[in-house]
Amino acid sequence: MVAIQIKKILRIMQTITLFIILANASSAQQCFFCEDPDQYNPHIKSTCNSTNNWGTDFCVNNDILIEFYCKDCGIQCECGWTPLSCQEINIDSYCENGTCITTTSSSTTSTTSSTISSTTSSTTSSSSSTTSTTSTTSSTISSTTSSTTSSSSSTTSTTSSTTSTTLCYRYLFSGICESPGDCECLNLALNDDERCYNEVRMYSDVKDSAEMMCINNPENFTKKTLNCNHHELDAQAINTNQHAIYLNGRENPEIINCEIKDWNHGIYLKNTENATIKQNEIRDNHFGVYLAKTKFSRITNNSLHHNTYTGLNMYESRGNLISENQFTDQGDDGLYIHTKSEDNQIQDNLIYRNQRWGVMIQASKNTLNNNNITYNARDGLILSDPYNWTTNNNINHNYVCFNNQTESNYYDIRNNNKHNQGDENTCDTHQNWDDEGTLGCTHPCTPTTTSTTTTSTSTTQPFECYAEVIVDYSPGNRTDGSPLAYERANASKALGEPQDNDTQQTPINFASLGLNGSVTLGFNQQIINQQGDDFKVFETTYSGQTCQKYPEKISVYASENQTGPWNFLGIGCLDSWFDLGSLSWASYIKLEDTTNQSQFKQTIDGYDVDAVAAKTCQIPETTTTTTL
């Protein structure tokens, strides 16, 4: 009988002890995230009450009710059923791989241990006699309950007294943190490998920063992403502020979705490997991106424009990929690749309207493929060789046209070292450059007219001539602010006969204007004003959409001269016909995107031009002088 009573007592004590352990082990409980209908999990900001900035959201996972609390600081993961305080930017618990991690003191554990020890001691003493067992059990339970209360109280006071240091940034989930637009705070977050080991996101702009460097080479910015979320890194004065982002000796950093302006260097990487710079807008700096002794990095899908000097400068850098970027309207060069920069791939870029050279290369063993290099003030591409460094570069399939806008002694392609080679390029003017097996480029920019007369083929083909010359191309961005993809930002795709095919295909057969972008196209003949409509603009919209469902629109102008004056002819949507109105003839058509962004929920690229075709054309008359 005594043995039975003792077993009962021990079973009771084991149950109580287990309860104590669970009560003090909240840090081991699993924390699950709710599925957010706005797909911004775990930020369920819509549940925050606008009056007092508090709110809750609930979800059930494996029949366990989980609460998320939010305040101005956002959402924090709550583990178990006892909410921890949600202080402004102060994190005292966070989730990591589904487990709730809390800041607790070692004294909590010792309190629990002493309680269990006390309980065991009481249990031992209770076995002295059968008569006293019941009373001993009662007192033991009472004592244990008291210990539990004491332990709970001790845990509470310990937790409150050891709350983590207030942080300027906040942990979200899975190694991702969120920081305000503050340079010092961004550096702290990027250095935090305990919480922010995957990504640091900005939720506001850096405005008029007086810092010499905003992101100043954080030691732990390795294998980590800085995501500006399309917020600005903006400096106070371009002449005194040095670098928006400076990294030296880092590996695998990623910089995405930043708008960087008014710095000496937008991004400066030195001795850095495997960096990724993607989907950034870098403008109005002295230099856009500078790579010094940097290798195996990827610079892709960025828009670099209106920088005082160069868009991209590479010094002793090798093995890098420069692709699908826009280098437009720099004060000097689009790209400058020099001084032992080798084995770099420059491909699928738009290099347009820079005020000196489109691309200057003073280095060896680089490859340029499928770039659109047009309307630059001096040479489109110059392989300069002041020190006999520029050899064995491969230049293939590039469209290098309408450069030398200063009308001086410059060319589409100029080669100062015979040991560079390439093929299948398009250009009109060149110096010391021959594609393989050809004098000059394989393809001319402007097709040669083979006949002095035009025979109408209206019985089988309603058009007599097509736009053949790009006078100006000023692409806008997509509606989400990102630049157009390279394959859509090639204005040459709007020349010649239309593909007139609205099925999605590769390669793309049209040129996108982007939001509020424009293109001016020239004809080698005159479009003649006849009765009815005179020319047609062909647009590409996949899946045969109607204008009502997909209202990408353009304003259309015509002129006898490429500089105007311009006559407004009307607004077009999808394929559209136009009459020349008061003009008797025209040789230039200007198309401006006027798409209303608010009419689209999805991201779009603006009006897509397949071709411009005229019904009746004639070759301009030439004035001849007769000698008597």
Please state, in angstroms and rounded to a whole number, the distance separating the CA atoms of residues 21 and 41: 32
Percentage of the chain with pLDDT > 70?
68
Half-sphere exposure of 77 (CA within 13 A, CB side): 26
Euclidean distance between CA atoms 368 and 277, whole angstroms: 19
Residue with tokens 């007769």: 626
pLDDT at 622: 57
pLDDT at 503: 62
Q: How many CA atoms lie within 13 A of 413 on its CB side?
A: 33
The upper half-sphere exposure of residue 117, i.e. CA atoms within 13 Å in the direction of its Cβ, equals 6
CA dist 417 and 434 (Å) reads 12
Side-chain half-sphere exposure of 359, counting CA atoms within 13 A = 30
pLDDT for 193-203, tens place per residue? 999 999 999 99
Residue range 69-89: mean pLDDT, rounded: 33
User: CA 340, CA 314: separation in Å to the nearest integer?
Assistant: 9
**Alpha-carbon span 383 to 419, nearest angstrom:** 10
Q: What are the two backbone dihedrals, phi and then psi, of residue 525, each rounded to the nearest 5 degrees?
A: -125, 175
Taking the model in full, what pTM does it have?
Answer: 0.56
Domain 465-618: give its CATH code.
2.60.120.260
Please state, in angstroms and as integers, the Cα–Cα distance from residue 320 to each residue in 244, 276, 300, following that order: 21, 10, 11
pLDDT one-digit tens code per residue, 157-205: 333 333 345 789 999 989 999 999 999 999 999 999 999 999 999 999 9
Q: Is 515 helix (H, G, I), strand (E, B) or coil?
A: strand
Mean pLDDT (whole number) for 620-628: 51
Strand pairing report for 93-96 and 99-102: antiparallel
Of the candidate ranges 88-92, 229-233, 254-258, 578-582, the one whose mean pLDDT is the lowest? 88-92
Q: Averaged over 323-331, what is the pLDDT?
A: 93
Is residue 511 within 8 Å of residue 519, measured between CB atoms? yes
Q: What is the pLDDT of residue 490?
A: 87
27, pLDDT greater than 60: no
Rounded CA-CA distance 367/364 in Å is 9
| Other CB atoms within 10 Å distance of the CB of residue 605 | 25
Higher pLDDT, 148 or 489: 489
Q: What is the mean pLDDT of residues 292-299?
A: 97
Structure confidence by residue, pLDDT tens digits, 517-544: 999 999 999 999 988 889 999 998 876 6
Residue, of 460 and 399, whose pLDDT is higher: 399
Distance from C-alpha of 148 to C-alpha of 31, rounded to nearest angstrom: 25
The strand pair at 608-614 and 535-539 is best described as: antiparallel
**Residue ranges of the domains in the chain?**
2-25+105-161, 31-97, 465-618
The pLDDT tens digits for 208-219 are: 999 999 999 999
